[in-house]
Structure formats: structure tokens, C-alpha cells
Amino acid sequence: MSSGTDFSRRNRRTATTAFVVVAGMVGLTFAFVPLYTLICQVTGLGGTPQVAERNETDVSTQEITVRFDANVDRSLPWDFAPNEASVTINLGAEYLTSYRSTNLSDEAVTGISTFNVTPLKAAQYFTKIECFCFTEQTLEPGQSVDMPVTFYIDPAILEDELANEVQTITLSYTFYRTLDDIPDEEPEIISEADQVITTAQVGSF
Amino acid sequence: MTRISAFFTGWVLTLVSASSAWAQEMPTPSFPVPWQLNLQTPASPVAERLVEFHNFLLVICTVISVIVLALLIWCAIRYNAKANPVPSKNTHNTLLEIVWTAIPVIVLVIIAVPSYRLLYYMDRVEDPGLTIKVIGNQWYWTYEFPDDDISFDSLPLPDDEIDIAAGQHRLLEVDTPLILPTDTDIRILFTATDVLHAWTIPAFGVKLDNVPGRTNETWTRITIPGKYYGQCSELCGIDHSYMPIVVHAVSPEEFEAWRADQLAANDNTPDDANRLAALIQE
Amino acid sequence: MSTTATHAHDDDHNHAPKGISRWLNSTNHKDIGTMYLVFSVVAALVGGGLSLLIRIELGEPGIQVFDVIGEMMGSEAKQFYNVTVTAHALLMVFFVVMPALIGGFGNWFVPMMIGAPDMAFPRMNNISFWLMPPALILLILSGVMGQGAGTGWTLYPPLSGLAGQPDMSVDFAILSLHLAGASSILGATNFITTILNMRAPGMTMHKAPLFVWATLITAVLLLLAMPVLAGALTMLLTDRNFGTAFFDPRGGGDPLLWQHLFWFFGHPEVYIMILPAFGIVSHIVSTFSRKPVFGYLGMAYAMASIGIVGFVVWAHHMYTVGMGVNYRAYFVAVTMAIAVPTGIKIFSWIATMWGGSISFKTPMMWAIGFIFLFTVGGVTGVVLANAGMDIAMHDTYYVVAHFHYVLSLGAIFAIFAGFYYWFDKMTGKVYPEWAGQLHFWTTFIGVNVLFFPQHFLGLAGMPRRYIDYPDIFAEWNMVSTWGAYLTMTSTVFFLIVTLIVMIAGRKSVANPWGDGATTLEWTVASPAPFHTFEDTPDFTGGNPAAHPAE
């Protein structure tokens, strides 16, 4: 009989190990959420630009064009656009541009933005110094603000055989209404979309 | 060729003002035929390479499948119980096992070389002279020419508005097609406003997801003028099957004419800032 | 036969509990295996019925049947089509293939093949099974509640989020998959413990039959992949109901995170569906060639390497999502690498037949059909592995054709092969050979007519998950639908014959397949007794089944 209990003890140990593995995998899945963000930031996956404290690169004579792109989600009653469509700068040179947001509604609204740069392979050379990335912005009714972005393009891009042909980089932002700020009423049904919804919704807020 | 394109230029220019008529008369160089077996006729350098690479892969696939089938048939003939009543006990052959590991590796390397050449070719961007932005919505497309402030929606035509006699195709026509120049590098930016969509034109070898909150980029260069079709290629809800894509590829001169028309039309509408200011004051 | 027949019958032998409690409270691996198989057939009837609806709908351009069905279901035709596509996929993956291969054949034959009296945790085995019916009910509810979950089985947000599907249908689908996942995890734990600890004396892992190897590797994959799905589903559920923002940009989330997590589970999942099939096919090819499996160790380690590499290839499902070129280049390389161990398996099966004395009984026909059709699905997989080429095929019918060749004509063929192979052992009845052959040939022709034209449709540019398509694609769609009719007729024939044989079939013997069948299940009577072995088989002197009683 002792071999029988031995058997069940061994079985229990194997099963416990299996359940620990399962728990570990669930844990890893949740750990992957911040890790994914980190991977994007470090490697430029999905076109995530780099962030630096200051610009330590040398200015090159080589020029590059940066285009500025802006999108607003329908739920956000804002006007949001770059103050200049594009700029041509030297590699390594720091540049300050800005986007303008205007709250078109009659109540305070909080927005949050996502952003990326394309071509995706240029992301690891696109470095932002000061930005409104992911910081929430609350605008009072009718308020307009300029949102500054300081950035430079790392001249190391010239040494990247896969990316050195890139002559134009697009920096794109999308503004959303923050999740906490979504009004209580039923969410707008997306299928009833209307291109000029930012203005059409003005009265309802 | 020049005669054809001259003819082409001629009639397109006369139609610029009546753009609804465009939909009916353009040639469709890449449209599939009944019982089509292979990819559509390519109309861009990328698509040409895709067709070439696919034909190469097709040969390899067919050869492998036929070899496996032939071996199975040979076993069935030579080693069926009647023909070979006493089975051999052979279960190992190191040389054979090395060979059938090594040969697939070699075949894969042979595939990988053109595959990577194609992949990096598609990824390499020259500096395009034209940028367009494709925005996916449930369930229509919005096209923007960001440098010119041109923006319009492209809505599907319902079945009862399709004129099949005039060469229109059910489920594929839109009210306002996208006009693009041929022989021009075009940068395409992709994004979406609600859920995932994927904008594709098979004849251009372009297919990329429109992801809300993110921009994607690719490029194309259309080699043949004509009318091209695509359909949304990422499940996006109820009307996923009903948001076609239509591109009219015209010569750069005709494109410029169209663009000038659009810009002139733009000047006649009050600009956005004034409109918004008026709304805020209300 | 020697081990069982020479011993006097013990009083408890074959004392199966009677009535409903035998099934409800079952702790017997064979009874649970039977329940899994019956469950799988029920789910297959629903899932197969849905696929027939899809094919009838696509038989000609325009909307044929879904306007009527949609109205009946209180949903819009086009939405209900999406619901049907979604439910068909989820049913086939989680409620047909997995329960049949792992729950059904795994439960029936893994303990028998290793000479174990039962699974390591018989009561946990019961829970594993009984989680499945509620999961199935939840899945069906997800299709009929509200507007129905029409997100595709991949449940990509934002479409699966509140913005895309605001009512509760997707929540039902999530909970259904949670239950099915929990069932799989419990089952996997049970299989791992059983296989690692409960093998007969003398049966080292290197002597274990390949189906045992396949089940062990599958169980490990389940253990590593299912929790990832569970975690991701939980995130989706809290995003939908509790205001989190894992996949919602409005709270700093990213919809693409879901795709990474889903496919980290989803790609191993396809190997979870095919590895047990590999195991079954190995046994059948060996049995009917009257030869041991060629390159046994290579076969076992090929499966192990397919399992391992399966975890690092997930983003080949995401080539068009907008991913850096170097990432795509990496995924091309590892994905193509999987072709090597798969090739080893194909060639080893052929080498097993080579020099053999092959009898082409029904199970062997299905196994040979599997080998060829899986090869066809494999080579189109190599085509799709190329990130550049995939631009032309992504989300077209080419992909649909590819994965039906490896799953429908792969995994399902292996299920039929296993069914005919073990039918005598499970029921004690003889399946009429002519009926099996007729079923095989009609299905073989039917599924090829059904799925091969879909390659052409995909290449010509027809996107998948479309309720209606441009008229130019009508011809091949019509052919494809004919194939579906033939396949369905063949399946109905199979079901009727099976019912008749179960009721009125001839009695079978312990080993109907002769000296090629060398695994332990053939040493016990047919049907296998309630308690399989009276004495634990002993492998220390070699395989007792390989040297049948004199």
C-alpha cells in the first residue's frame, strides 16, 4: 500500500507544478502589458518614438522632412491640428513645433493622445524631448492651447542601411476623450458616424 | 501606346467636370476573369514582383505535393499486402533521415532569398511626391490629400444603383472614387476612426491594416492607367462586405487637372476655422 | 490477451455503475472519453450545420438564406452571418477538434497505452468534462443573445470592445472560452501527471507510443498557451465591463496588444489541434503497414520541436498590421523553419509504409488521405509564411483554404481515422468496411471540391468573412458549395451507418488488425472492460503486446 500513497504524492507534486506553471503564465500575461509598452519604447515597435532628456547628437548637414499629422476621435469635441504641416530640418538638430487643440463644446473636456511615427523603421531615430504624449489635457469650454513637441532625428539613421533612404517621417497624433470623462449617456453608435461630428456634437455637451 | 494614351487623355479631360460619368467608361486592367486561377494582373512594381514570386512558389509547392503523392501511390502499388506479404523490419536509416532534413532546409533557403528580397523591396521607400491618407470608418472610406486640404468620403453604391450594362460591378462601386496619378511614387498613410479595417488594392500589391489611434505607411507606384477595385480586408462589423475601394489611376497631367478642380472648389467653401468660430459663438 | 485471459475473473471486474450516475459522476477514463466523443459529435453537428449555412449562402452571389435566418434569430442578416462565421470557428476549434482528439481519444487510450489503471486524477477528469457542456451553452448564447458575437474567433478589439459590440453577446463568448480553457488546463494537468508518473514498469518515455508523446506535448502546450488566452480574455472582459483600458487607447491601451496575446495563444493552439492527429496517424500507418514506426525518436522529437517553435512564430498572423520589417523578417524565418520537422514527419510516415505489407482498411485510407492533404495544406503554409507574399493573401480565401486543409482535412481526417481505428475497441462492434470506404471516398472528394477552389478565389482577391461577393467570383463559389453538399451527404451517411452499427453491429475481437497493432489497448477485450487491466502490464522484458500469447 505504501507504493500507492507514494504514487499519489508524486501525482500531487506533478499537478502542483503544473498549476504553478499555469499561474505563472497568467502572471506573465499581465506582466506583458507594461512590458509591451516598454518594448515599444525601447525598440520602436509599432512606430513608437524614443524619448530623451536632452539632445546629445551632433548636427549633420543632411536634411530630413517631418510631416505632422493629427486625428481626433469622434467622442472628443475638439479641433486638433498641427500648427505647421511639415518642416525640413537637419539631422541632429532640435526642433520645436506645436499642435493646437480647441475645445468646441460648452463644458470642460479631458483628452488623451496616442501617437506614432512612420515609416515604422524610422521610429528608433525619432527622439522626442518634450511632448504631450499620453499626458491628459483638460480644456475649458472654448479654450485653445498650443501643445509643444520638441524633437530631433538621430543622425545614426544614416548608418542604418535599412532606413537611410527615408527622407520624410510622419509624426501622427490621435486625440481621444479619456475613459473617465466619457459622458454617462449611451455611447454613440459608431455606425451613425458623420464626418463633421466634431461640430455636430457641439450642442449636446 | 502613345496613341492609346493620347486617346485616353482626350476623353478623360472632357469628363473632368462630369466626374460621375468616370465610373462607367474606365478600363479595368486587373479585374478577375470568370474561373480565375491566379493573382490579378499586376499594376505596380510590387505587385509584379508578388506575381513573379508566387509563380515561383507555386512550382515548388506543386513539385513537393506531387512527390509526396507519387511516393504514396508507389507504396500502395509496390508494398500492398498482396505484392509484399512479408514486411521488412527496417525502422532506421540515418543517411535517409539526414537527407530528408537537409533537402527541406535547402528548399527553404531557396525560397527565403527571393522572399527577403521582396520583403525589403516593399519596405524601401523612395521619397514620394504625393501623400494620401486613407481613413477607415464603419462602413466607408475617407480619403485625404493632406498637402492640398482635399478630403472626401467614398461611400458604396447600393445594388439598385449599379449599372451592370455600363460595366459597373455589384458590391464594388462607390460614389466618389479615389483619383491617383500613374507613374508617381505615392505615400499612403492608413488610419481608422472606429475599429480595424484594411485597405487593399490587390493589383497594386497594397494591403495594410487601418488601426484606430495609429498610423501606418506604405507606398505604391501605379504603372497602368485604369480603374482598380479592392474590398475591406479586416473584419469590421455588420457591413464588412459592403465597403469597396475604387481607385481611378489617371496620367499625372489629368491628375493635376482634377486636383486644380478640387482646390478651386475648396476655395468657394468657408474654411474650417471660420465655421468652427461661428459654432463656438452660438 | 494472455495477461487478461489467464486470470480468474474478479468480482469487481467490469462492474460499471448503472444509470445516469455512471455518466454524471463518472471517474472512469473510458466513460469520460466516450462522453467527450459524444459531446464532440453534438458540437460538430452544430458547427458543421453552421458551415453548411455559410456554403449555401455563398453558393451564389446575393443573400440567399441569412435574411430569413437573421429574421428568425432577431438579428440582422449581415450581422448573423458574422455570428455564424465566429461560432463555426469557435465550435470547431474548442468544442469539436480538441474534445475529440484530446478529451476523447486521449482519455480513452493514453492510460491504456501506458498500462495505467486510469487517469491520475479521475475526479478532476470528471470536472474537465462537465465544464464543457456549460461552455457550449454559453457559446450558443453568445450567438443568439442581443445582436450576437460577430467578431470572428480572433475577437479583435475594438470590434470586440464596447464600441464595436455594445451588448452582452461578446461577454458570453468570453465566459464560454474561459470555461473551455479551464477545462483544457485541468485536462492537460491530468494528462501530464498520468503520462509522467503512471506508465507501466519498464515503459520509459522512449518506449512510450507516439500517441502518448503527442498527448504529452499537446498537454504542455495547453498548459503554457491557455493561461495566456485566459489572461487576455480577462483583460477584454474588464475592458468591456469594469472600465479598464488594456486594449483601449482612451486609457493608454493598445488594440494591437490583444493581437500579440491572442496569437501567442492562437498559434500553439493550432499545434494543439494537430499534434494528437500526428500521433494517431503514426499508429495507424504502422499498424496497417505491419511495421514499427520509422524513425520513432525523430518522430517524437519532431513533435516536441514543432511544439517549442510554435511559441515563437505568433506574429506571422499579423504581417499586415503594421510591424517593422525586421520583425517580419524574423517571423518569416522561424515560421518556415517549422516546415522542417513537419517534413520529417511526412517522410517518416512514407518510410514506415515503404517495405511494409500494407492493407488499405478504412483507418489507413483516412491516414493516407491525411498525409497527402496535410502536405498540400503545409505547402500553402510555406507560401503564407513569406511576409511579402502574405500581402496578397492575408484575409482572403487563400488563407481559408490553407487552414481548412490542415485542420478540416488534417485534424478532422485524423479524428475519422482514429474513430475507425478504435471503433471496435470502444464499442466492441465491427464497422462494415464498405461503409467506411464509401464514407472516406465521398468525404475525400467532397472536401477537395469544397476547399481547393478557395485557393483560386483567394488569389483572385476574394476577402474572407464576406456574406456577399462580386459576381465575378460566382463560379468557384458554386463549385465549392457543391463540395459542401457532397461532404454533408457523406457525413449524414456516416452518422446513420454508425448508429445502425452501434445498435446491431457484429461483435468484434480484441485485436481486429493483426500483428501490426502492437500497443497495449489491443491486448484487452473489445469493448475494453470497465477496469482495463487486471494485472499491470510489465515492459521490463519488452513490449508485452508485441509478443502476443502463444
Q: Where are the domains of chain B?
A: 2-28+128-273, 45-123
Q: What mean pLDDT, rounded, does chain B reach?
A: 87
pLDDT in the model for residue A4? 58
pLDDT in the model for residue A133? 60
3-class secondary-structure state, position C496: helix
**Which of B213, A175, B195 is CA-nearest to residue C161?**
B195
Mean pLDDT of C417-444: 97
- Cβ neighbours of A19 in C, within 8 Å: 189
Residue C317 a catalytic site member: yes
The whole-angstrom separation of Cα A174 and Cα A69 is 9
What's the burial of B273, exposed, middle or buried (CB within 10 Å: 0-12/13-18/19+)?
exposed
B189 has a chain C CB within 8 A of its CB: no
**Which of C359, C499, C365 is CA-nearest to residue C445?**
C365
The whole-angstrom separation of Cα C449 and Cα C481 is 8
Structural class in CATH, domain B45-123: mainly alpha
pLDDT in the model for residue A5? 66
Per-residue confidence band for C7, with pLDDT thresholds at 50, 70 and 90 = very low
10-residue averages of pLDDT along chain A (205 residues): 68 95 96 91 86 85 94 90 94 92 89 91 89 76 89 93 91 90 51 34 26
**Which of B261, B264, B247 is CA-nearest to residue B180?**
B247
B50 has a chain C CB within 8 A of its CB: yes
Locate the domains of chain A by residue range: 2-43, 46-203
The sign of the dihedral angle between the CA atoms of A125, A126, A130, A133 is negative
Catalytic one of C269, C390, C424, C521: C269
If phi over 0 gives left and psi between -120 and 50 gives alpha, with beta otherwise, what is residue A170? beta
**Pairing mode, if any, of strands A50-51 and A126-130?**
parallel
| Chain C partners (3+ C-beta pairs within 8 A) | A, B
The whole-angstrom separation of Cα C430 and Cα C415 is 18
> Does residue C158 have a cis peptide bond before it, meaning omega lies within 30 degrees of 0?
yes
ipTM score of complex = 0.92
Catalytic one of C215, C342, C427, C523: C342
Which residues does A13 contact at the CB level (< 8 Å), separation at least 6?
none
pLDDT in the model for residue A47? 87
Q: Are B171 and C472 in contact (CB under 8 A)?
A: no
The whole-angstrom separation of Cα B244 and Cα B177 is 10
Mean pLDDT of B161-170: 90
pTM for the whole structure: 0.91
Fold type of domain B2-28+128-273: Immunoglobulin-like (2.60.40)
pLDDT in the model for residue A181? 77
Instruction: Mark yes or no for CB contact A118/B137 under 8 Å.
Output: no
B233 has a chain A CB within 8 A of its CB: no
Residue C415 has pLDDT above 80, yes or no: yes
SS3 labels along B21-81: HHHHHCCCCCCCCCCCCCCCCCCCHHHHHHHHHHHHHHHHHHHHHHHHHHHHHHHHHHCEC
CATH placement of domain A46-203 = 2.60.370.10
The whole-angstrom separation of Cα B202 and Cα B39 is 8
What does each C-alpha distance from C432 to C144, C425, C504, C505 come to in angstroms? 40, 15, 11, 8
pLDDT in the model for residue C182? 97
Reading the block at residue C212, the C-alpha cell is 502518448
3-class secondary-structure state, position C85: helix
Mean pLDDT of C371-389: 96
Q: Rg for chain B (alpha carbons), in Å?
A: 26
Query: How distant is the Cα of A128 from the closest Cα of chain C, in angstroms?
Result: 18
The whole-angstrom separation of Cα B174 and Cα B157 is 5
The sign of the dihedral angle between the CA atoms of B212, B214, B218, B224 is positive
Q: Which of C6-20, C347-361, C505-519 has the lowest mean pLDDT?
A: C6-20
Cβ of B126: how many Cβ atoms within 10 Å? 12
B195 has a chain A CB within 8 A of its CB: yes
- Per DSSP, helices labelled H in C198-254 are 210-241
Reading the block at residue C147, the C-alpha cell is 445582436
Mean pLDDT of C517-534: 90
C188 has a chain A CB within 8 A of its CB: yes
Strand (E) or helix (H) holding C23: helix C20-24
* Separation of CA C475 from chain center: 31
Q: Rg for chain A (alpha carbons), in Å?
A: 24
pLDDT in the model for residue B266? 78
Query: How distant is the Cα of C261 from the closest Cα of chain A, in angstroms?
Result: 8
Domain B2-28+128-273 identical in fold to domain B45-123? no
What does each C-alpha distance from C326 to A39, A159, B115, C381, C398 come to in angstroms? 15, 16, 13, 20, 25
